[in-house]
Structure 1
């Protein structure tokens, strides 16, 4: 899953990253831009384009395509 961290003090947001890397980038932003203020804001998850791997429909489509190829080769 990909995550984007938003600053609670300004309009800064991280790119879509792994959760640990995004949290680190947000903390670095706070230390540089808002020293002395605890990191805040919110986290957005990218459910449409998760990081890594195929979705179920993509795997099912590939499996169906392979099944069609195997069946057509047996004739």
Structure 2
């Protein structure tokens, strides 16, 4: 799954990524922007796009490109 952490103090939100990676970004944000305040806010989970990538769309695009390549090589 992909995670995005939202700051409880301002409008900052981390990029989509692994849970520990996004949590680290939030911790760094708090240390820099809100020193002395413990990290808080909310966590958004994207279970439809688990790796933050293109998912099935990427596989379909590769298959179409291979079909086009195969058709252009055939005479």
Q: Please indicate, yes or no, whether the TM-score normalized by the shorter chain is above 0.5.
A: yes
Q: TM-score range by the shorter chain?
A: 0.5 to 0.7
1:11 aligns with 2:11: yes
TM-score by length of 2: 0.67
The number of aligned residues is 56
Structure 1 moving runs of 4+ over 3 Å: none
- Give unpaired runs (5+ residues) of structure 2: 60-75
- Give unpaired runs (5+ residues) of structure 1: 59-75
How far residue 7 of structure 1 moved from its aligned partner, in angstroms, is: 0.1
TM-score by length of 1: 0.67
Cα distance in 2 for residues equivalent to 1:46 and 1:12: 18
